[in-house]
Structures are given as structure tokens and as C-alpha cells.
A and B are shown apart, each in its own frame.
Chain A
Amino acid sequence: IGKVFPAYNPATGEQICEVQEADKADVDKAVQSARVAFSLGSVWRRMDASERGRLLSKLADLVERDSVYLATIESLNSGKPFLPTLFLDLQGTIKTLRYFAGYADKIHGTSIPMDGDYLTFTRYEPIGVCGQIIPWNFPLMMTAWKLGPAIACGNTVVLKPAEETPLTCLYMAALVKEAGFPPGVINILPGFGPTAGAAIASHMGIDKVAFTGSTEVGKLIQEAAGKSNLKRVTLELGGKSPNIIFADADLDLAVEQAHQGVFFNAGQCCTAGSRIFVEEPIYDEFVRRSVERAKRRIVGNPFDPTTEQGPQVSREQQNRVLGFIQSGISEGAKMECGGKALGLKGFFIEPTVFSNVKDDMRIAREEIFGPVQLIMTFKTIEEVIERANNTDYGLVAAVFTNNINKAMTITTAMQAGTVWINCFNALSTQCPFGGYKMSGNGRELGESGLKEYSEVKTITMKMVTKNS
């Protein structure tokens, strides 16, 4: 009751402000509110689907109106460089909300020619009260990825932002109210995983939980759902994604894309291309160019327009990444550049490149989530396919080649939810995104995203006589 926790600026390590801390009692209250908003006959249940879409559209307009402010707070609280945040994160957030706004009245069931004298059709109904737990690496975008489909399908939501980055999500809540959503439809609770997050995952009054975060916590969520009410679970978890560079690739393109693919967002992307497999003939040149590019990477104040890389989000993350770097050194990988914390304040790390990485090293198997690039070499396509798939993860993969046959072969063979050809991190709200294996289950975005937020009801009515 009345507990607060601090929100930090990771570029300086200083506290920005304090935020109310939600715990189990608050989750109960929010769930109750969401349940009432979802009751049969409520304003939200009676609303035209197209009107739900209008509300999402209005929210997008408001986010656009306040995008400079939101980008500023996002940058301050997460350490992401301001300009990319404004142009990528904010635009991605707005476009995602607009995309799902357009879907609200296009979620179709079917009428079905079943055997017998029956009239049969399906309705796609909202599931009910959805718990949503989001991470700190793309706070606003993750909010939009979660709210968009849930609301388009008519659900009500209890959303917990990451404790590291609650601020922009709370501002979004104010915009939700300004847009005119009925009370209780969207509820936002800042708090910690083991308390508020766990309360959501095990709540008997929540019908579905969607979680984006680490695989470690994803497993806990799935267990909690099984132990409680078998709530539907979708998970977007970690990755150790392979980026495969063939000798016939456009080398400049491949080097730059591989660089951005691992260093973007200070390496804090579930999609990070963190195992770069380079075909032997171009390996040395590729390493040389990658090191040169990494040395050129500008790390600094997120509000400096030339900055490419800000701090890691917290001291804990910084220490974790530095720990991985140490393990790389001690296991015998060759550290080509970087390797140290940067500066006295904040949680900065130098862009770090390892070559001569062996598949069984810790740095090659576990998700680092920091600015650490690993470059390995391969000889044949069959070999690289096997090695790329030799992981419990399966979120994304990429291949750089000019050869259409190699591209087709790799894309079919990869056990990954998204495969990129001659590009990396090309994501868009229209495309389903999600993981094979322990990178998660279910897909977000695109039409696929709607499936996870609907319950299908089949209605069969006896007819006097059926005719085709």
C-alpha cells in the first residue's frame, strides 16, 4: 500500500522519479475492473467493432501528436538514442496501432457447409481479460504490439510494463483515457516480475497471458498458467539468431547489416544476429571490416544526435554482459576490440567483437543481450544449416547471398520464425513475428496476431431442410 520504486536514467545512473509499485492487491483490483468492463452488455461488449478501431486510431493520432515528448521520455528512461527512438520506435508504435485499428471490423468467422440439416457458422469472440507483461528494450513498441491486437479483438487488458521502463507506458495510459476508451478496458500497472508479474500469470480471473521477455521467465509463466486456470499463453522470448554470410554476398551490405543486426539498441534485441557465420573464403576480410566498423560505432549521450549506441538499460544488465565478455576471453575466443565498460557514469559498454568463436563456448550458446558480436566461419551449406539450427532458440535467421538457390535452401531449412534474405531486422506490423522452439509460441503482428486474441465459437442450428 503506497509503495513506490525508482525509475532511472541509465545514461547517468541517476533516479528520474518514483513510481507507484503494483503488487498482488493491485493486480486483483485491475483484473476486477477489466472483468466488469468485459461483462456481457457492457459498453465495450456492445460497441461496434469499427468503433473499437476508431478508438485505436485516435490513440495512434494522440501518440503521433505527442511523439517528441514520448521519444524524449523513452530515451531518458531506457537509454535508447533519441533520434532513432523518434523515427523508428515512435513510428513503429503509431503504425502498429493504426494497423490493428484497421483490423477491428475485419475479423471474420465463416459460415460452413457441414453435413446434415444444419446452419453452422463461427464467431470470433474476444477471449476476455488479457494479462500482458512487456520488457524494457522497446517499451512503447511493445505496448503497441500488445494493445493493438488485444483491443482490436475486443478484449480488456491488464498490462505490466517492465520495472526498468514504466514511464512511457504510463503516459500512454493517459492517452488511452484521452482517446475515450471506456473505463476498465485498459489497465496499466507498473511493478516487478516476481510480485505483480507472477500475480498476473497465476491469476484465476485472467483468461490469457501474453509475455515478452527472457526464456527463463517464459518458462515460469507457462508453469503458472498450468498451475492456475490453464489460461492461454503466448510467449515471445529470447534468441541466439544465426546470420549466415555466403562468399557471393554483397560484402559491404553484409558487414553493415550484420553490424546493425547485433549492435542495434545496444545489443538489446530478441532478434539480435548474435551468431554470424561467414563462409571461409571471405572470413578474414569480413572480420577486418566488422572490427573497423565496430571501432567507428559512436557510443554516448542518447540525446546527442550523432550517438549510435546508448547505455545498457541497467547496472544488472551491464554486469551480465561484462560477465559474458569475460567468459569469452577465458574460453579462448579472440577479442578483436572493445570489451570494457565505458565512462564513469551510466551503464555503457564498448562495442565488442570476438572472432574464432567455437560453437560450444558460452558466448556462442547463451543470449548475451549486449553489444558483443561473434563471428565464426563455415565451409559448406549443409554444415552451416546444422550449426545454425543447433540451438534451443529459433526466433530469427538471416542469409546474405546473391544466389537464389542458396537463399531458397536456407530459408526452408532454418528453424526460425522469421528469415531475412539480404537484410536484417526488417520488421513491419503486417508480418507475423514469433519463435520456433524455446524462442516462444504464437505469433504477433499481421493477421496471425489476431488469432491469439480470439476464441472461436461454433454455432450450429437445426434447419428444417438444408439446400446448398
Chain B
Amino acid sequence: MIRTVFSRSLPRLSRPPACHYSAGAIPEPCSQPEVHYDKLFINNQWEDAASGKTFPTINPATGEVICQVAEADVADVDKAVKAARDAFRWGSPWRRMDASHRGLLINRLADAIERDSAYLAELETLDNGKPYAISYTVDLPTVVKCFRYYAGWADKWEGKTIPIDGDYFCYTRHEPIGVCGQIIPWNFPLLMQAWKIAPALATGNTVVMKVAEQTPLTALYVASLIKEVGFPEGVVNILQGMGPSAGAALARHMDVDKLAFTGSTEVGHLIQQASGSSNLKKVTLELGGKSPNIILSDANMEDAVEQAHFGLFFNQGQCCCAGSRTFVQADIYDEFVERSVERARRRVVGNPFDLKTEQGPQVDQEQFNKILGYISSGKREGAKLMCGGGVAADRGYFIQPTVFGDVQDNMTIAREEIFGPVMQIMKFKTLEEVVTRANDTKYGLAAAVFTKDIDKASYVSNGLRAGTVWVNCYDVFASQAPFGGYKSSGNGRELGEYGLDNYTEVKTVITKVPQKNS
């Protein structure tokens, strides 16, 4: 069935981006927020690096240095791990604390972050480049909710009593694992910090976190709040440094009990290997994706176009779950492409502190170059460049919203994670075909399907090998819902009750009794 392009009534509703914020509610930001903390945070104290080294953190909107921060290396990792181990010792204040009190401290942290959210949003935007309107209305509230969610779990994570055979009384305890190394990326600095430390603290662990070298500033400010609200020293330690030095030191450390990593699949492989060659520390990984977004011909066209746009371009395309393979059913393909191109052309790229901006710069020069490289490969391999394709400003790392049509599954841009504002639209005929093609990837992080049909929705969502499947929506996250990858997109789930498993050791206790009765 051929759907005429003009079958929709005009004018089209001008819909705000799916984050649904009201521009009137956002305070005018200060574009040069002061940096208060630039050292390493160990044992509730601010320390220079043992080597005295520092490194610069850059404002990606201008390419200019914001400030220097201390650079952690092996010696600092050792120091932090010792502090975390001491905070975890049998009989320590942290180990003796009521679980409900751990929850209370996490709630206080949430309150403090909420109190300072305007400032934190400014700092996040300065260091990462994401539009302030989004830092303030999306990142910060989501961070606060994540802490509050896990605060509530602290005293509810129960073991069981179990009717085993024989004259025994058997129960399980949910104990913390111990010292947890956590390595987080630069795409959602505050949110990734919250996703990691909230469940770890709720379950009673201690933490050594290495933040991304591109975006250390907001994590350090949160460290000051951790101290302010009263966490005992050594419970949370924050180190900024490079992956191959500080990150690797944490991954192979013989006294770290668990490592949680969010980042590229490439580095995920290294982390897993490091665990195997050191002390077999438990590893959970949240890695990359090449997530399929499947649009069936009965989908609400306007909705699907907007959501597909949002699903790819949100956060400058720098989302592990970006819907970077948009499969559109043949009979609506042309109209979908045309509308997507028009929407991409309308995307407002600019100064992140301007409240009208939808898209800021990529996070750094390396990402910027990588994405432009992918765009070239798309052109070279014969995909049809529909709009964008180039640099969007003469300073900073801005890239034009780019759309490729007629993308074939074997093209590089269809197989590899670009992590930038580059949309691939491909065509499909049948459901069986698209599920097979959607699953034909080493990744398996997320997926989506747009349709009104109840049977098609359940068929597709059950068939996709992905940790999260969205139906008639995209990028819907909630602290309550588990998130994680199939296959090379990672292992383990974060968020929800499931997220607690990653930070728990189960101890079974079996006591002999004189006579068991049911």
C-alpha cells in the first residue's frame, strides 16, 4: 500500500523533544561555574596525586581548558583501595551501621544533590557539553531519583530461610561483596556515578571509583556532598585518571573484590581479562550497542519519526543504547526518511548554555574525529547522505545532525557503534526478516518496535535478543527497571531490584538443630 506523503494534515504539531521540559521552568545558567574540587577524594580527604601529576579537563564547546585536576595512577589506586578496605573491616562504623541508616545517608545525599542541582547541571554542561536545559531537567532529577530509589532498598534486601532436608535450620544472608571498583564513562557523568554507587552503598559495600578523564568535575563535587552528609571515611573514594593507568590498576588489583565497568566493548574485553589474570574479581559490564529501532507500517508516523530521531540524536548520539539502526517497513520508508531528514535539519545545534539548544558538541577531539571518520566510510561504502555530514562550528567539537538512507546491513556504519549524531535508516519487508536482521549483531543492549498491533508488538519484543525492548517509545529509563546487555553489550543488570545482585554475596548458614519440625 502506497501512503501518500500529504495524507497527514498540516501544520504538524511542533512537539518538544521527548524529555518534555517546559522551558519556562529552567533557571538561567551561569556559563562559567566555579570549580571547587580538583584533587583526588580518598578517605573523605582531598589529596594530590602521589606523583604530583595533573591533567587538563576541556570544555568541548570551545576546546579550551577548564582547569587542571590531579591525575591518579597506580600508587593512588593502592591508597584508595586500602582506605576502602579499612572502611569495610569487620566491626567498622560502616559494617556496624543499621541498614536503614545506610538508606538514610543515601537519602541525605539525594537531598544535597537536589539542593545543588542548578550548579551541578552547569558544571556537567561545562565539562561534558550536553545542553544545560537537559542537564537540569533530565540528568539531575534522574540522578536524585536513582539515589532515592536505592536508599529505599537498603533495609529491604532480604535473604531467605530455607526448608532443607535433615535436622537443620538454614538461612541465607545477603552480605556486601567488599571493596568495589567502579569505572564510569563520560556520556552521563553524574548519572553513571549514581547508577554505580547507589546500589553499592545500599548493600553495604565500599567503593573506589575511577571517573572518566574527559569529565571528572561533577563526580568530585558529589564527593564533597558524600562527606557533608556523613558517610564514614573510606566508604567512597573517587579518582580521576586515565584508563590504561588508573583504570587498569583497579581492574587487576588483588584487593578489589568486584569491578563494575561501563564503557566500550573494546575495553570491556580488557577488564574481563584483567580479572582472570588477577584475583578473579566479580565483573559486571555495561558496554556498547547498535540497537535496532523497528518501525512497522501501522505505526503512528509522527510519533515514530520523533522517537526515532530522539532515540538516535539524544545526548549528541552518545548513548550506549542509541537506536542506531532504524529499520522502516518498505511501504512507509520514503515518507519516514523524508520526515526524519526534515526533523534532523531542524535540530538546533549550538552553545550548550543556550536554553534553545538541542545538541551540543561531542565530548572531545578523539570522538569528533572518530565520528567524522564513520561519516566518510558511509559515503565511501555507498550509503546515501541525506543531510548533514560535516562539522557544525569552527571551534569546539560540533557535528551536524547527519542522516544516511539506503543503508545496507554490511556497511561499516550499520555494524559498528558510531556514538555520534549519525542516523542510519534501512528498509525491510517482513517481520521475520527484520527480527533476524535486528539480531544479526554482536551487540544486544536495547531495541524498540513501533506498531499499534498487539500481536506484532509481542512477537517482535519477545524475539529481539536485547536487554531492554521499548514498545512505542524510546530511551525510557527508570531507576526501578533493570537495564543491561545481551551478548557483547555486557553482562549483569543495573537498576531495579536486579541491580542489587551485582553487589551482594550470598552466604548460606546451616545450623544443626535437635529436632526439625515444619
Contact = CB atoms under 8 A, between A and B. Distances in A.
Contacts of A54: 148
Contact of B458 (A102, A105, A404, A463): A463
Interface stretch (B33-41, B153-161, B175-183): B153-161
B513 A408 contact: yes
Contacts of A105: 149, 152, 479-480
A102 B513 contact: no
A50 B463 contact: no
A465 B459 CA distance: 7
A129 interface: no
A57 interface: yes
B interface: dominant SS: helix
Interface string A101-129: 11111101000000000010000000000
Contact of A102 (B153, B454, B497, B514): B153
A465 B462 CA distance: 10
A108 B497 CA distance: 9
Contacts of A203: none
A174 interface: no
Contact of B158 (A405, A447, A461, A467): A447
A106 B100 contact: no
B156 A106 contact: yes
Interface string A405-429: 1001100110000000000000001
A57 B107 CA distance: 10
B167 to A, nearest CB: 10
Nearest to A413: B517
A464 B458 contact: yes
Interface in A424-468: 429-430, 447, 461, 463-467
A461 B152 contact: no
B379 interface: no
A163 to B, nearest CB: 33
Contacts of A467: 462-463
B514 A405 contact: yes
Interface in A47-83: 49-50, 53-54, 57
Contacts of A430: 99-100, 155-156
B49 to A, nearest CB: 39
A430 B99 CA distance: 10
A429 B101 CA distance: 13
B174 interface: no
A99 interface: yes
Contacts of B516: 412
A430 B100 CA distance: 9
A259 interface: no
Nearest to A468: B462
B473 to A, nearest CB: 16
A25 to B, nearest CB: 40
B455 interface: yes
A95 B480 contact: no
Interface in B443-471: 454-455, 458-459, 462-463
A240 interface: no
Nearest to A53: B152
A409 B515 contact: yes
Contact of B462 (A99, A101, A463): A463
A409 B462 contact: no
Given A106-B497, A408-B514, A463-B455, A99 B155 contact: yes
Contacts of B152: 53, 101-106
A98 B156 contact: no
- Between B148, B152, B454, B459, the greatest number of chain A beta carbons within 10 A of the residue's beta carbon is seen for B152
Contacts of A49: 480
B110 to A, nearest CB: 10
A415 to B, nearest CB: 11
B171 interface: no
B254 interface: no
A107 to B, nearest CB: 10
A353 B516 CA distance: 36
Contacts of B151: 102
A464 B463 CA distance: 12
B155 to A, nearest CB: 5
Interface in B486-518: 497, 511, 513-517
B103 interface: yes
Contacts of A104: 152
A430 to B, nearest CB: 5
A465 to B, nearest CB: 8
Contacts of B155: 99, 102, 430
A409 B158 CA distance: 24
Nearest to A463: B458
Contacts of B158: 447
B513 A98 contact: no
Contacts of B517: 412-413
Given A108-B497, A409-B514, A463-B462, A102 B156 contact: yes
A464 B455 contact: yes
Contacts of A405: 513-514
B156 A103 contact: yes
- Between B153, B158, B462, the greatest number of chain A beta carbons within 10 A of the residue's beta carbon is seen for B462
Nearest to A119: B458
Nearest to A467: B462
B480 A408 contact: no
Nearest to B103: A102
B306 to A, nearest CB: 23
B169 interface: yes
B169 to A, nearest CB: 6
Contacts of B149: 50, 105
A98 B169 CA distance: 32
Contacts of B103: 98, 102
Given A106-B156, A408-B514, A464 B459 contact: yes
Given A95-B100, A102-B151, A409-B514, A461 B156 contact: no
Contacts of B107: 57, 98
Contacts of B497: 106, 108
B373 to A, nearest CB: 39
A404 B479 CA distance: 42
A102 B149 CA distance: 7
Contacts of A103: 152, 156
A330 B515 CA distance: 42
B366 to A, nearest CB: 38
B145 A50 contact: yes
B200 to A, nearest CB: 17
B242 interface: no
B154 to A, nearest CB: 8
A466 B150 CA distance: 34
B104 A50 contact: no
B100 A98 contact: yes
Nearest to A104: B152
A315 to B, nearest CB: 39
B458 A412 contact: no
Interface string A26-53: 0000000000000000000000011001
A98 B511 CA distance: 34
A405 B511 CA distance: 10
30 contacts: A49-B480, A50-B149, A50-B479, A57-B148, A95-B100, A98-B104, A99-B100, A101-B152, A102-B151, A102-B152, A105-B149, A105-B152, A106-B156, A106-B497, A119-B462, A408-B511, A408-B513, A412-B513, A413-B517, A429-B100, A430-B100, A430-B155, A447-B156, A461-B454, A461-B458, A463-B462, A464-B458, A464-B459, A466-B462, A467-B462
- Ranked 7 nearest A-B pairs via Cβ: A102-B152, A408-B513, A405-B514, A464-B455, A430-B155, A105-B480, A412-B517
Given A49-B480, A101-B152, A467-B462, 17 more contacts: A50-B145, A98-B107, A99-B155, A102-B153, A103-B156, A104-B152, A105-B480, A106-B152, A119-B462, A408-B513, A409-B514, A413-B517, A447-B156, A461-B454, A461-B458, A464-B455, A467-B463
